[in-house]
Structure 1
């Protein structure tokens, strides 16, 4: 009887402590410093309004007042850091070659028309700018705009060169980098721990387990950004065999209490890639810090119309 009472009191104490720390994490953790906060994030510069990852797309988004540019990086044969999503050039340029096998000067231009990955049966037709840019070009053109960098391949040279460019342009406080793969994020952090990192997919799964067991409030987190997809768009990015697993995982993550706890610790929560008003509303109502979109004009109008401003 005494043992049962002891166990019950211990469990009750743990649950109450966990609940308190979930709502008031500053009692245990120092809030991370935020050099910037992003509400409006332009995915690939706004792939639904200009050809993705082009300087034209980035200029358009910045002129609209986007809070952050999201982009992808690869390395060319001559070790230039380029802004490009795919490792193979077929989808974007029509040329069946890997970016790592082509020197920067020999890169073909983008096709005139590209599909919008996160909007069914939608295409973007570009203007005159069809050049694949260097990461250096983006940093020089937008010195005060935060940039979210997806390191697309596990390449030590790529990671080192991106870090060198970030340092060269004094952007450690204006950059976040990483990938869904944990080995890439670990290398990024080891290369330059001054650049904030994203949660990798394995770390997202750990976060999920910690949250539902009540352990999250007790565990330190080195990441500063959680970027997760809305479950409704999962079918556009994974095959059918993986669909139900990923939908289940990300539905479990769509919790206001989790978002509020993370943001209270200075960890920003971004939901991607949302292109419809109903998804915009759902993400913001759940407490997401920001939204990644292919349609920066649409998101800007929605934020202004519904007064979803940063607090």
Structure 2
């Protein structure tokens, strides 16, 4: 996810003095993010999905991470094995939610196949066009960084969400060990200039501000998390005039760019304008229908997170909006 500040004068088109330039992009471009690697097209959070998204020419790979029992950073949205897309070593579908990622070693985690959706699962119905990739394992973050490097892609960014729930502290690693392990992997791969850290649990982002102050931070919000101050660093959302003002307070003191990532259905044009006036990038999630993509483009958002990066690429091309990677994405059928 880029940390794009509105640095271009609408009238003159010249860069304003003192603007913060986003990493690995040119000012004025749009951030096309493939949610979980683009789970509408390939199995979520797998190397197959990330490879496909890079071939499409997306700006950013959006992904989630957890920490195993042996402290390896792995890519998984779920804090426990999900029976909707997980088979055991014998190829049998898990009958129920499996063990937590935190309770298993990397070897135990990777004994499972996450390469296709369970055919009887309601979870997979919106993604009926997803192409299976049998044999995919829950990858390490290091493997994704290696994949990007080996592909020769020097521009794609990584928007990494820490999957941590302050209301269920026993399900995952605590914020500090998770953040330290994540920052160590980023540093080892030399990917700091291409990474944003995002989270609904803003304790994570406060730690990133202290331990990795140059990394952009994305403050995820939803109606549920805004109602519970355990998610918002102890701040009471009702005490602020708006969510952008809440994010501004939570991110105060940091020197890296700040992103606000709201649930797209709750976003208004006034909020977009306010957040951008506060020097935030606005990047809503998870937008899968063309009509919603068009509506958000009309609002002037800085980017969109989607399960269908092919559809969004088509919409951007129709609108004449420049994505950060200028490769042409394929035309798709309407959704």
TM over 0.5: yes
Is the 2:218–2:258 Cα contact (8 Å) retained in structure 1?
yes
Quote the residue 1:170 is aligned against.
Answer: 190
**Deviations 1:106-140 (Å, cap 9, x if unpaired)?**
221215215696x8644435123521110011112
- Cα distance change of structure 1 residues 207 and 274 upon mapping to structure 2, 3 Å threshold: farther
- Cα distance change of structure 1 residues 210 and 110 upon mapping to structure 2, 3 Å threshold: closer
Shift in Å at residue 260 of structure 1? 3.9
- What is the aligned length? 258
Structure 1 stretch displaced more, 281-290 or 88-97: 88-97
- Cα distance change of structure 1 residues 98 and 47 upon mapping to structure 2, 3 Å threshold: same
Matched, 1:188 2:208: yes
2:161 paired residue among 138, 150, 159: 150
Quote the residue 1:225 is aligned against.
Answer: 259
The structure with the largest alpha-carbon Rg is 1
C-alpha RMSD of the superposition: 3.1
- Cα distance change of structure 1 residues 48 and 204 upon mapping to structure 2, 3 Å threshold: farther
The 1-side partners of 2:304 and 2:197 are apart by 17
Q: Which stretches in structure 1 are left out of the alignment for 5+ residues?
A: 1-22, 24-28, 232-249
Quote the residue 1:240 is aligned against.
Answer: none
**Deviations 1:216-262 (Å, cap 9, x if unpaired)?**
8xx9674521111112xxxxxxxxxxxxxxxxxx3xx412x542454
Shift in Å at residue 207 of structure 1? 10
- Cα distance change of structure 1 residues 169 and 282 upon mapping to structure 2, 3 Å threshold: same
Is the 1:51–1:57 Cα contact (8 Å) retained in structure 2?
yes
The 2-side partners of 1:278 and 1:82 are apart by 34
1:90 paired residue among 78, 82, 86: 82
* Higher helix residue share: 1
Is the 1:32–1:224 Cα contact (8 Å) retained in structure 2?
no
Matched, 1:161 2:181: yes
Matched, 1:297 2:310: yes
Structure 1 stretch displaced more, 170-179 or 268-277: 170-179
- Cα distance change of structure 1 residues 121 and 259 upon mapping to structure 2, 3 Å threshold: closer
Structure 1 stretch displaced more, 297-306 or 275-284: 297-306
The 1-side partners of 2:47 and 2:305 are apart by 18
**What pairs up with 1:176-215 in 2 under 5 angstroms?**
176-201=196-221, 202=232, 205=237, 209=241
Shift in Å at residue 189 of structure 1? 1.7
The 2-side partners of 1:86 and 1:211 are apart by 26
Is the 1:32–1:266 Cα contact (8 Å) retained in structure 2?
no
Matched, 1:254 2:262: no
Matched, 1:280 2:284: no
